Amino acid sequence: SRTLRLAVIPGDGIGQEVVAEGLKVLAAVLPADSKVETTEYDLGARRYHATGETLPDSVLEELKHNDAILLGAIGDPSVPSGVLERGLLLKLRFAFDHHVNLRPGKLFPGVSSPLAGEPQIDFVVVREGTEGPYVGNGGTLRTGTPEEIATEVSLNTAFGIERVVRDAFARAQARPRKKLTLVHKNNVLVHAGHLWTRIFNAVAAEFPEVSTDYLHVDAATIFFVTQPERFDVIVTDNLFGDILTDLAAAVTGGIGLAASGNINPSGAFPSMFEPVHGSAPDIAGQGKADPTATVLSVAMLLQHLGLVDEAARIESAVAADLAERIGKAPRSTSEVGDALAARVAG
């Protein structure tokens, strides 16, 4: 028997709706002798307007005492751009040292891709999660004048690169195709790019079974569209990974299906699982959001906690559900959740 302590941050917009379905499927898949104890945290636009807080230290402290965090979505047009993104979402990723941002790109059978033919897409992007241009290192000068200057300095440490590169090699090693692609822009961003390349090549020597290659990020976007089957595991920096994983979602059936995990591999802090999509305020509260990305994020959460069979059952349920969608009328958020819960239970 096992009790899973789960912190839940529904957040903004459709976050509430999709998280409810994720929890529904979680409850249905867990074995009878396992319990889940959820604590919900009211964070996001509502709290910011009410109290001015984005992520109080007391909440950050409480979150630590959980096995994992499930997050819906963060962001609202009523809050200035960047306040919740930096003050809540990125603060969580940085505080809990989520340096492995795992984002699978998988085209399930029967899901229509905008790409021609029926490409076989099954890769995973290992996006660095705690460095790069996301650290907020920069500033403005001569503000409000025509000579205004803004800088965003990308931070890349040997320590930070090596740990994520090593993680990506280990993941590639464990997959049948054993292939790892480094994506950067080392022909232009020579300082960071050369450090990434050097470390990547050094770690490669320790993984002789993994075949490697390198792509500039612009070329990688071409191959995502023209030859996505060439990818197995991809490792890249925080910003390139952000952009590439939206493209990955677009070619694998859309953002409604894209799951992610912000992983702290050491387990020193809880890892956090969230759909790649945002809060979609335009459809919030209408029961239109597809909860599948959140449900798949729950599967990643279970996988991370070692509940491998349960994770696999969720994936199979999603695969079966997606295969049956073809030609059918769209269902509501809770209808999809109910269908998935029924499949994992049965």
Nearest approach, Cβ of residue 68 and Mn ion (Å): 21
Q: Which does 53 bind (CB under 5 to 8 A by kind): Mn ion, ligand IPM, none?
A: none
Task: Give the helix/strand (H/E) hosting 128.
Answer: strand 122-128
The three-point CA angle 265-270-274 to 5° equals 95
Q: Is 120 annotated as ligand-binding?
A: no
- Give me the residue whose beta carbon is nearest to ligand IPM: 85
d(CA 262, CA 97): 9
User: What contacts 110, CB < 8 A, 6 or more positions away?
Assistant: 322, 323, 324, 325, 326
Catalytic-residue membership of 76: no
Q: Tokens standing for 61?
A: 């402290």
Q: Is 232 annotated as ligand-binding?
A: no
Q: Identify which of residues 242 and 310 has a Cβ nearer to ligand IPM in the complex.
A: 242
Catalytic-residue membership of 242: yes
Q: Identify which of residues 129 and 193 has a Cβ nearer to ligand IPM in the complex.
A: 129
Q: Identify which of residues 101 and 333 has a Cβ nearer to Mn ion in the complex.
A: 101
- Give me the residue whose beta carbon is nearest to Mn ion: 242
Q: Is 24 annotated as ligand-binding?
A: no
Catalytic-residue membership of 232: no
Q: Identify which of residues 160 and 275 has a Cβ nearer to Mn ion in the complex.
A: 275
d(CA 265, CA 275): 19
Nearest approach, Cβ of residue 308 and ligand IPM (Å): 25
Catalytic-residue membership of 246: yes
Residue 30: helix, strand or coil by DSSP?
coil
Rule CB under 5 A: say whether 242 interacts with Mn ion: yes
Q: What beta strand segments (E) does the chain contain?
A: 2-11, 34-40, 68-73, 100-106, 122-128, 138-141, 149-152, 179-184, 211-216, 233-236, 259-263, 271-275
DSSP state of 76: -
Among 48, 185, 237, 321, the one annotated catalytic:
185
Q: Which does 315 bind (CB under 5 to 8 A by kind): Mn ion, ligand IPM, none?
A: none
Q: Tokens standing for 143?
A: 């503000």
Q: Tokens standing for 47?
A: 């709290």
Q: Which residues are annotated as a binding site for Mg(2+)?
A: 218, 242, 246
Binding site for Mn ion (CB under 5 A): 242
Q: Which residues are known catalytic residues?
A: 134, 185, 218, 242, 246
